[in-house]
Amino acid sequence: MSNLVDFHCHLDLYPDFERAVERCERAGVFTLTVTTTPKAWRRNAEVTGATKYVRAGLGLHPQLVGERAAEIGLWEKFLPDTRYVGEVGLDAGPRYYSSFDVQKKVFAHVLEACAEAGNKILSVHSVRSTKIVLDMVEAHMPPDRGKVVLHWFTGSATEARRAADLGCYFSINEQMLAKEGKTAFLRSLPRERLLTETDGPFIKVGDRAAEPTDAGRTLVPLAALLGLDETETKALIYANLRKLLF
């Protein structure tokens, strides 16, 4: 077992989904493979159903809500089948802002349904919308009803403190640590709430898509940021995962 953690990856977007899952299993990388639409859920549940290390999240990606908002009913139908939800959230970037009001309605529905069900873990997208995401988490997701992991968090240090106060976790990828000017802010995140992610296949390692085994690449710069060695950082991330899950 590697004790590596990739808490946000899109394995069903790789050329061979089943082999990508098998590679995670062989390497012993705990992987949350998120989906972008509820229609993708059945296949994800089938491929990951008997795995030891891979879990599938039931998603409705905010960038697709403009054309797929009607799938929220299908999303709700599948919710009892999984503890993991993602990718969900909000995106106020220029390409997706026209659907922002609909995104908010869908995300509120997701949060309310998860809170009602209880014990769900959500991987949440918050591009240019951190304050509104946190407002909605505070309004609809009490910490004792579920857990929110903020994927690729880009908010301010003040917003990070607020997110931590709301019980949120943060999944950190190699690209976030490579950005000049961001590392000091990342140091302010509570280390007991940090997880690693790859966001593969959207992040690249050289000329190939990052895979869950590449989550280890994040440990070296993260260790330097935290003032720990790589072994200590790996143990910290795994302990954080266990706390989140159990």
Helix (H/G/I), strand (E/B), else coil: 178: helix
Residues at the binding site for a divalent metal cation are 8, 10, 87, 125, 151, 199
Specify the fold of 5-245.
Answer: TIM Barrel (3.20.20)
Q: Is the bond preceding 201 in cis, omega lying within 30 degrees of 0?
A: yes
- CA-to-CA dists, residue 85 to 10, 16, 61, 125, 191, angstroms: 13, 22, 11, 12, 23
Per domain, the residue ranges of the chain are 5-245
The pTM of this model reads 0.97
Q: What is the pLDDT of residue 123?
A: 99
Q: What is the pLDDT of residue 56?
A: 98
Distance of CA 134 to the CA centre of its chain: 15
Q: What is the pLDDT of residue 146?
A: 98
CB 233 within 8 A of CB 186: no
Q: In a structure prediction context, what are the per-residue pLDDT tens digits for the chain, which is 246 residues long?
A: 789 999 999 999 999 999 999 999 999 999 999 999 999 999 999 999 999 999 999 999 999 999 999 999 999 999 999 999 999 999 999 999 999 999 999 999 999 999 999 999 999 999 999 999 999 999 999 999 999 999 999 998 899 999 999 999 999 999 999 876 777 778 889 999 999 999 999 999 999 999 999 999 999 999 999 999 999 999 999 999 999 999
Partners of 169 in beta bridges: 149
Query: Can you read off the two tokens belonging to residue 179?
Result: 């950005």
Secondary structure letter of residue 119 according to DSSP = S
Which amino acid would we find at residue 203? I
Q: What is the pLDDT of residue 113?
A: 98
Residues at the binding site are 8, 10, 87, 125, 151, 199
Query: Considering only CA atoms, which of 241, 243, 245, 188 is closest in space to residue 6?
Result: 241
| Residue the block writes with tokens 């990828």 | 173
Q: Angle at CA 208, nearest 5°, toward 51 and 36?
A: 50
